[in-house]
Structure 1
């Protein structure tokens, strides 16, 4: 990791740049695959599954028998862990339910808002080197609580045409409607356009690599909503001498092992602590099974020293991390003043891993600085708000003239007439 001492503000954007390809380098590939899937449907999807995943499938649909077989390979201890995590995630997301909001804005005018579930949702679950069955929990649990009718899950198969047993077990436990062996750009394209095998959905959820992120953004051009741009994982830790260097190093490595394009950053007001963490990372990384991948991410990561917590906060808000860990004596300063972060973890005993798996909060979060404008996945992500209004005769008499004047001022005579006709009948 590169150590940077008191960087100039003018250099922050360069220092905090993510190690990702530019969209221009990816868009051509994404567009090409989208066009192919739109024209050729399942035939195109099968071609790309064989090309990218090395799997030639007889059927892309996961059968009931495959799910039953997968369950046999999950230990009882892991099943218990998954069920415990599910309960915590359910508890947190059920607490986000809101009642109907009703207001009489003026006498005789009643307005209210109600939540309705998005009927058809597509969930993208990364596979590859780390099949993220925890993401199945994070997406399916709130979808079920919201009341979504169709929950379609796509995940890339391995070269043998299989999806990880843990993903299949968790999907059936949580009530997924349909599981399809397809990943990458072709999965997002299939959910966008619909094929004979893949249902078209109204909104697509889930993290992925840079190609999946750009594919999701392209899907919006075809009328399909997405949860957020969610690409390679990232973590920023702010720490001072009250933190434990071995804990902080382990947290940084926990995100670095996601992939070579992940990024981790430590911001500290202590040069001594930065050196301690650097040493801990060098020692701990040697014991990781995924150390080669973690090392590539570490090579793209930074250790940043700043003199004051005020400057540290400015750096953090500029970076807008997906995950933000606070390990300082003045944690309330950061809690009260952080503006841009996907999810915040507070104190020496709150590792980011807790949020990834079982504490209850959602781990599908905005990356690449998008936490400046996007929220992480929550219950509202699976619903839409519909407004209602009912105006009585008295209400129309009270507000009618106001509407007429405004419509006339905008030059919209038909709008005015819709009110004038009613007022004549009432007077």
Structure 2
């Protein structure tokens, strides 16, 4: 890893991947095909891209039940414990509708309403991601979303991974379709004979999924266009270089473009972590991916003191931030920009990925400056309530009319005036 002083250019931002011209054209063609042909397009595209010759898109109850035979009981229990933790955390995020009454009889308030239908995209391919299902489905359930649809690409055998099916079953997701890629996003946005359209699409995917989500935004809402994963560790001389190296590599193995950064006040720690990263890389199964990430996007910044180090953190606005200092809780209040903050030596980033409870769908690429982790609010909408009293209108109507005329909107003003004249 490169070791540089804080005076160097500080950034973990990468250009947002908008795809190649060919990729964008492919996505546009897929979306058009699904809009025009519906289910027929889904069957054809699934065979073309995934090699699965499906007869039906929807996962059956028998498939859900049968998946349990392929998952060890201890793993099923682990899933259940994780679900409990994640649900408990998100229950605490729920907002209530409210009303307030003024002395003149005016009633003002806010009505919180869950979205009617949400689509959750679950990546497929060579890996399965039960944690992604939990992190997207649970806040939607807690919010009270009436219909939750899950889509995921089938393997060439026409099946979804057992771990995906078991997780969905444990969560009570009943509407699951074997379709992935841009065609799945198009189906969720516009609807087909088998898949009624939803109001919002969440969940990660490859570049084609990301481009499709970007293309249908406006027709439906989306969670975010996520960039490569990133981790920043803030550490002083008290930190264990083995822990830091392991945590940096935990993100580096995600993607060649993933970013792993250490900010420290100790030059000795910086050197020891750099050595430890190289040693741990040699035994890592995904060492080629992690190695490329460390080579191209791995860096160690040496700060003069913790004050300067925190300034660096707030400038980076990382997705994941670990605080490995002697008094880490004392620093939490000084962190303004981070997707998730992991405090102390035993709060390794994977604790948050899988089990602790907070959501692991986090803002990347510096967007933690203005956005938040996926949460219950993302699956609700708010309506303002205004019940103005006659007394309030008589007292304030002339002000309202004046403001309308200030903007040159005479009809607005007259809509108030006609009521003031009617005494």
TM-score, length of structure 2 as denominator length: 0.92
* SS, match of residue 371 in structure 2: coil
Q: Which residue of 2 aligns with 1:71?
A: 68
Distance, in Å, in 1 between the alignment partners of 2:24 and 2:369 is 23
Contact map agreement 2:201 2:221 (CA 8 A) in 1? yes
Flag the 1:19–1:54 CA change in 2: closer, same or farther, 3 A: farther
Deviates more, 1:282-291 or 1:373-382: 282-291
Contact kept, 8 Å, 1:185 with 1:212, in 2: the verdict is yes
**How far apart are the structure 2 equivalents of 1:90 and 1:263?**
29
Are residue 359 (structure 1) and residue 369 (structure 2) matched?
A: no
Query: Distance in 1 between the 2:288 and 2:126 partners?
Result: 12
Deviation at 1:7, TM superposition (A): 5.2
Q: Secondary structure at the match of 2:126?
A: coil
Cα distance 1:50–1:299, how it changes in 2: closer, same or farther (>3 A)?
farther
Match runs of 1:309-328 below 5 Å: 309-328=306-325
CA distance in 1, matches of 2:16, 2:384: 41
Structure 2: segments with no counterpart, 5+ residues? none
1:28 and 2:25 aligned: yes
Distance 1:181 1:349, change over 3 A: same
C-alpha spacing 1:400/1:333, structure 2 compared with 1 (3 Å): same
Task: Give the deviation of 1:179 after TM superposition.
Answer: 0.6
Q: Deviations over 1:171-201 (max 9, x none)?
A: 1221224111122222212211211222211
Question: Unpaired segments of 5 or more residues in structure 1?
Answer: none
Give the Å deviation of 1:228: 1.8
Is 1:276 aligned to 2:272, yes or no? yes
Distance in structure 1 (CA, Å) of the matches to 2:161 and 2:353:
18
Q: Deviations over 1:119-178 (max 9, x none)?
A: 110111122233111111111111111111110111122222221111111112212241
The yes-or-no answer on 1:61 pairing with 2:58 is: yes
Match among 213, 216, 219 for residue 219 of structure 1:
216
Distance 1:41 1:233 in 2: 34
The equivalent residue for 1:4 is 3
Inter-CA distance 234–32: structure 2 relative to 1 (3 Å threshold): farther
Q: State the shift of 1:215 in Å.
A: 2.2
Aligned counterpart, 1:336: 333
- Pair 1:117 & 2:114 matched: yes
- Structure 1 residue 237: deviation in Å? 1.4
Say which is worse superposed, 39-48 or 128-137, in terms of deviation. 39-48
Q: Measured at CA, do residues 153 and 19 of structure 1 come closer, stay the same or move farther in structure 2, by a change above 3 Å?
A: same
1:365-404 map, 5 Å: 365-404=362-401
Per-residue CA shift, 1:200-226, capped at 9, x if unaligned?
1111111223332232222214x2111
- How many aligned positions are there? 421
- Mark the CA change 1:259 to 1:53 in structure 2 (over 3 Å): closer, same or farther: farther
